[in-house]
Structure 1
Amino acid sequence: MTKEIALEHAPDLPRIYATAVRRRGSSSATLPDVRYSRAGIRVDVDDLVDYARVCGFPVGGALPPTYPHLVAFPLQMAVMSGDGFPLPLLGAVHVENRIEVVRPITLDDRLDVAVWAADLRPHHRGRQVDLVSEVSVRGDVVWRGTSTYLSRGSEHPEATPSEPPSTAPLERVTAGPVWRLGEATGRAYAAVSGDWNPIHVHALTARPLGFPSAIAHGMYTYARVLASLGPKLPESGLISRVWFRKPVRLPSTVRLRSAFEPSSTLSVLESVKSGSGDVEHAVVANTW
């Protein structure tokens, strides 16, 4: 039977990260049957404005499609730091995300959020798990998200990878916005999201976890892409998926290339390194 844990306040993320240093996960092949929830959440206007400024979204109207992830993220961390969770929290890498916007969410809405873990499975570089989030308003689900996290460890070459769609339609697209992501990009996003995972904050905190430099948050680069595509995307009925291919090391310069169809978009985010070709960081597919 699922254990229901209803919280009155958001989990304390600094405390979770501090205690995660001593927690290494386990070899368990099962996930704890637990569901965390919070009810009646109001979006703080100042927090929303800060988020929109960092990620490039306009302010006004419906919430950005990625913003409900921020509301659900503390509950995700509560699940991943809880007793019996098999993967270590620190060093976990966000490898894929899916968002479904059922209908627009406004500042007037009170949000009920629920999060649980699902589908622990092998990855060719370790193990991965889905953190499933649902946001409801007055009993109706208005937003769904699935965040897939990888914990690197024993390799499983037989694991079937999740592959993005072909980027062949983008071969003739040579122009697109170019963004310079500075060394402090991870700290700026952490300040508005609460995601202070050490792999994003500074090279000195990323290196002990296997990264030569800090890497950009996946949800930051994803948000930048959706903000850039904003006028092309509907406010409801949107299904958006991102595959994070290679981490964006900070600092970096990245370019976005996109192709548009009547009810879909396909984008690739890449960095351009002189003399070494383009490095593909993320593929984003939107349908409606």
Structure 2
Amino acid sequence: MQVVDLRESPSLGLLFPKAVVTGFTKKGGKTLPDRSYRWQGVRVDPAHLAAYNQVCEFRLSDELPITYPHILTFPMQVKLMTDADFPFPLVGSVHLANRITQTRALRVDEEFDLQVHVENLRPHAKGKQFDMVSQGFAGGELVWHDTSTYLVRGRGDGSSNGGEERREPPAPSAFWRVPDDIGRRYGEVSGDRNPIHLHPLSARLFGFPKAIAHGMWTKARCLAAYEGRVPEAHTVEVRFKLPVLLPAKVAFASEQRTDGYRFDLFDARKGKPHLEGTITY
């Protein structure tokens, strides 16, 4: 695999308009780019980390939330998905799932090397899916690994992986109110200013009745409820279900298991699922 070094984080302000323009020319394909982007010597801005923690309701700390490096690698992911040889349009791709593993606590004063590539193109009942893989290294050691699975809608393969069995919502552990500006606030700290998250009018252009919360914000918000209760080395895996239409009242449910936790986020009134996840260690 070819490794291409970047001097700085790619500009999402330039890449998102490019994604809109180039999306019309991408017709799908059978191969993914055999290329990795690498950004070395990355330092965390403490003020930016504090802003992220506030939006996601983490405590202020010298340790990075396990989800924080995702927003550092996200511009590299977008760069790869807007390259000319990437076969699918970024606009309209659906974030199905995310799995993150860290081998130890990551500290704000460390220096990281970040790397992103794409792999595992495979069929899905509603089209095709692929994995965007991000890695974080410290002192040459792999300390953080992130896999985001995306769906590109199209002709499916007839399998059943697009229609999972529905389950009754579990007993809530807490109720949270999600304000109507959380998409704009998270977009400000993450750089992900996709129109579907920013305003009802722009969201309607893409088929949503209201603006929706970022999936990675919902994951981070759930994990904030576990601060101080999980060991440094752990894995968090979630599957994104129905979007959170803003504003919202959501219910959070947590179940302790021998190897960690299971958690759910769902509509407090109708019980419709937003997210299902596990923490394992």
Query: Which TM-score applies when normalising by structure 2?
Result: 0.93
Helix, strand or coil at the partner of 1:286: strand
Task: Give the superposition deviation at 1:151.
Answer: 2.4
CA distance in 2, matches of 1:162, 1:243: 13
CA distance in 2, matches of 1:192, 1:234: 26
CA distance in 2, matches of 1:68, 1:134: 9
Helix, strand or coil at the partner of 2:201: helix
CA distance in 2, matches of 1:13, 1:29: 27
Task: Give the superposition deviation at 1:160.
Answer: 3.4
**Partner residue in 1 for 2:4:** 5
Q: Per the alignment, do residues 27 and 35 of structure 1 end up closer, same or farther by CA in structure 2, a change over 3 Å counting?
A: same
Q: Per the alignment, do residues 204 and 123 of structure 1 end up closer, same or farther by CA in structure 2, a change over 3 Å counting?
A: farther
For residue 14 of structure 2, what is the amino acid of its counterpart?
R
**Partner residue in 2 for 1:26:** 27
**Partner residue in 2 for 1:269:** 265
CA deviation profile, 1:158-199 (whole Å, cap 9, x unmatched) = 2635969x978x74xx34221111221111100010111222
Checking the alignment, whether the CA contact within 8 Å between 1:167 and 1:268 is kept in structure 2 is no
CA distance in 1, matches of 2:111, 2:177: 36
Checking the alignment, whether the CA contact within 8 Å between 1:26 and 1:86 is kept in structure 2 is yes
Checking the alignment, whether the CA contact within 8 Å between 1:4 and 1:34 is kept in structure 2 is yes
**Partner residue in 2 for 1:244:** 240
CA deviation profile, 1:183-223 (whole Å, cap 9, x unmatched) = 21111100010111222122222223232222111100000
Helix, strand or coil at the partner of 1:230: coil
Number of equivalenced pairs: 279
Checking the alignment, whether the CA contact within 8 Å between 1:26 and 1:85 is kept in structure 2 is no
Q: Does 1:187 align with 2:184?
A: yes
For residue 256 of structure 1, what is the amino acid of its counterpart?
F
CA deviation profile, 1:212-245 (whole Å, cap 9, x unmatched) = 2221111000000001122221122x01100001
Q: Per the alignment, do residues 120 and 66 of structure 1 end up closer, same or farther by CA in structure 2, a change over 3 Å counting?
A: same
CA distance in 1, matches of 2:133, 2:163: 17
CA deviation profile, 1:41-68 (whole Å, cap 9, x unmatched) = 0000000000000001111132101011
Gapped regions of structure 2 (runs ≥ 5)? none
Task: Give the superposition deviation at 1:284.
Answer: 1.0
**Partner residue in 2 for 1:73:** 74
Helix, strand or coil at the partner of 1:187: helix
Structure 1 runs, 4 residues or longer, greater than 6 Å off: none
For residue 106 of structure 2, what is the amino acid of its counterpart?
I
CA distance in 2, matches of 1:87, 1:204: 26
CA distance in 1, matches of 2:29, 2:19: 18
Checking the alignment, whether the CA contact within 8 Å between 1:180 and 1:252 is kept in structure 2 is yes
Helix, strand or coil at the partner of 1:91: coil
**Partner residue in 2 for 1:229:** 226
Between 132-141 and 256-265, the greater mean CA deviation after superposition: 256-265
Query: Which TM-score applies when normalising by structure 1?
Result: 0.91
Q: Does 1:14 align with 2:13?
A: yes
Q: Does 1:282 align with 2:275?
A: yes
**Partner residue in 2 for 1:256:** 252
Q: Does 1:137 align with 2:138?
A: yes
Checking the alignment, whether the CA contact within 8 Å between 1:181 and 1:250 is kept in structure 2 is yes
Q: Per the alignment, do residues 243 and 281 of structure 1 end up closer, same or farther by CA in structure 2, a change over 3 Å counting?
A: same
Task: Give the superposition deviation at 1:110.
Answer: 0.4
CA distance in 1, matches of 2:223, 2:162: 24
CA distance in 2, matches of 1:175, 1:64: 24
CA distance in 1, matches of 2:200, 2:60: 32
Q: Does 1:200 align with 2:197?
A: yes
Q: Does 1:39 align with 2:33?
A: no
Helix, strand or coil at the partner of 2:161: coil
For residue 70 of structure 2, what is the amino acid of its counterpart?
H
Checking the alignment, whether the CA contact within 8 Å between 1:98 and 1:241 is kept in structure 2 is yes
For residue 43 of structure 1, what is the amino acid of its counterpart?
V
Task: Give the superposition deviation at 1:5.
Answer: 1.3
* Identical positions, percent: 38
For residue 10 of structure 2, what is the amino acid of its counterpart?
P
Task: Give the superposition deviation at 1:35.
Answer: 0.5
CA distance in 2, matches of 1:128, 1:204: 29
Helix, strand or coil at the partner of 2:63: coil
Q: CA RMSD in A?
A: 1.9
CA deviation profile, 1:77-130 (whole Å, cap 9, x unmatched) = 111111111111122221100000111110121010000011122222222211
**Partner residue in 1 for 2:119:** 118
